[in-house]
Structure 1
Amino acid sequence: MSSTSTSDVSSFVDLTQHEIEALKTRFNLADAHTHQRQSASQDKIVGRLPELWYESEQNQQSYFEAQFIDAFFRLHRQPTARTMGRTLLSYSASVATMVAAMYLKRREMTVSLIEPCFDNLTDLLRNMQVPLKPLPEQTLAETAGIYDGLVANVETDAIYLVDPNNPTGFTLLAQGLDGFREVIRYCVDHDKLLMIDFCFASFALCDPEIGRVDVYQLLEESGVTYMVIEDTGKTWPIQDAKCAMITASRNIHEDVYNLHTSVLLNVSPFVLNMVTQYIEDSIEDGFESVREIITQNRRAAEWALDGAVLEYQTPVVNTSVAWFRIKPEHLTASALQAELYDSEVYVLPGTFFYWNEPSRGERYVRLALAREPKVFASAMERLREVLKRHEQL
């Protein structure tokens, strides 16, 4: 158990500070990074790491960048993006988001950001002094009402969506291209910059009820001004080695590129080479190694926790996190999180996800699912013991 006290935990100012503390905890269900073990085919990639290292020394940087981008967009079924040649690579989604925030700041743009969402988006934009307004997720819930809902709710220069959303699992992809088509139509008609975070999109691919469509084709054909951020960090268990991407519409690509080069030169060719092997492995196995772990742990969480204290919130897309509503009125997310922390289980309170109205988040907690199943099952037992105390109140 960490020496950090419950009172210290309650003073944390963002979710990342909670996640840092959770890394010291026996049952870390906080961060959505991948902590499960390798599948059989992934273990073979680990065995080839020396080979991949020397291979990375023998070829040019551009070779590994092209190989990675080709594989990533093949996996994600985005043939338009695969051939555009406008995707810029960075070490993390946070770096890519920082570049996007620099673009917004330089143009003194205001942003309507989806709520709830992971709060580092809020922090990055605010730290860059970009004015924010909340865009309630329910504004996008019904295709027929999206356009009018945006007219009623958006007074800013840009719209920033996360799809699938973290923590709720909401996605416009459930409506094929129809939901995105309405958002894009609004942005074109009202001259808005459209920003989309697709960092959890791999789980839409994993979900047989959802899948992915060629969003980039729709973006390109519409003429909308856009920036799209994607990431590999939430998908494969590779010790936080990852690559993020930012792709911009042609009319702003040069400006984004000039900002991007002020931040970094390149992503490690070894990291690109290694991550590409994991992408190809998931193409080969149809994402089975990723889907199996998440499905197993989601079922375990729902079975163990959905009851008198917590109510499982069924997502549109089964991402690598689970979102639960707290049912007893006397119990808050902050109090439950602190109690669980004392029992060596770390979950995230919903408060920070509701970045504009934290009090709404007191009704929710989020659990990460990308964990080794045996460890996750033990965490569920410990968590269930704590919940039993409240079932009798």
Structure 2
Amino acid sequence: MLACQWPDADVRAIMLTHPNNPTGLVTPPENLRSLAEHAARQGQTVIIDASFRGQVRDAQYDTYAVLDGAGADWIVLEDTGKLWPVHELKIGLLAWSEQCELPLQRAFSESMLGASPVVLQLVEALAGDWATGGYERARDLVEHNRTVVRETIATVGLALADPDSQISVARVELPDGGPDSSRLYQDLLAHGVHVLPCAPFYWADQASGLRFIRLSLARPTELVRIGAEGLARAYRDLTVPV
């Protein structure tokens, strides 16, 4: 994405996550414009998962204006669940360009549950809170929890793979030769700590993803601390010979 190397016309759709999950990488507007112009020339559809956009101010430029300005055919997914982690009490949004001929309305209505009035009121209340200082409080919590994770895992020689990320997840890099994220996941799950191995994010090279594990930061600090301590303990116990 940052190198602006786009696929040839035999690729029908180009998908990206903005910001990226789990690295937090933001697609700059000039890169998105280059991609959209290329897609318009090649007859390709640009599909963007923007679920994490609300967490990062640098990602909150008008992507719709960029896509429309380039004349691209596009589909954008938004999701309040990444803004406020309240389990499945969320609203999923799907937007698409005027020239898009895919039966998206039918597909969306068949695969997505409609939001109940209770969920709508909850999201409205959370949005109102964010407009009156809640956004800054949420960002402070995420960054504080990122610091907690970074300092805790440093005690066993681990580090964050994306220290400058601003999204509400932290990717921990696991050195070669030690336990991979699948092994750590099994150990942590047995102790009631839920993390996410990163192999599924590396769909073209899942072995590379096994060297990373992901923790959620949008949680009470004490829970994040317990999770980070559990990760550090599991890594140490699996690394140090008995």
Q: Do both share a fold (TM > 0.5)?
A: yes
Higher RCO by CA contacts (8 Å cutoff, separation 6 or greater):
1
Structure 1's unaligned 5+ residue stretches are 1-139
In structure 2, the residue matched to 1:157 is: 12
Matches within 5 A, 1:201-350: 201-205=53-57, 210-252=58-100, 255-263=103-111, 266-285=114-133, 287-306=135-154, 309-314=157-162, 317-350=165-198
1:182 maps to a residue whose letter is S
Matched, 1:179 2:46: no
The AA in structure 1 aligned to 2:6 is L
Seen in structure 2, the aligned counterparts of structure 1 residues 333 and 266 have a Cα distance that, compared at 3 Å, is closer
Q: Displacement, 1:370?
A: 1.5
- The 2-side partners of 1:158 and 1:201 are apart by 21
Deviations 1:324-364 (A, max 9, x none): 11114242222222233333323221222212221111211
Scaled by the length of structure 2, the TM-score of the pair is 0.88
What secondary structure does 1:356 align onto?
Answer: coil
Gap change, CA 1:345 and 1:259, over 3 Å in 2: closer
TM-score, normalisation: structure 1: 0.56
The residue aligned with 1:170 is 25
**Could you tell me which residue of structure 1 aligns to residue 219 of structure 2?**
371
Paired amino acid for 1:304:
T
Instruction: Give the match for residue 91 of structure 1.
Output: none
Given candidates 330, 353, 357, the residue that maps to 2:201 is 353
* TM-align CA RMSD: 2.4
Structure 1 letter corresponding to 2:45: L
The gaps in structure 2 that reach 5 residues or longer are: none
Give 1:213 shift.
0.9
Residue equivalent to 2:44:
192
2:26 partner letter: T
AA at the equivalent of 2:44: K
Q: Summarize deviations over 1:158-203 as a string: whole Å, max 9, x none.
A: 011111111111120xx3x111111112111211100000011111
| SS of equivalent to 1:306 | helix
2: distance between equivalents of 1:291 and 1:215? 22
Contact 1:231 1:244 in 2 (8 A): yes
Secondary structure at the residue paired with 2:151?
helix
User: Post-superposition shift, 1:150?
Assistant: 1.2
Cα deviation for residue 279 of structure 1 reads: 1.0
| Identity %, equivalent residues | 26
Work out the CA distance in 2 between the residues paired with 1:168 and 1:286.
Answer: 24
The CA deviation at 1:381 is 2.6
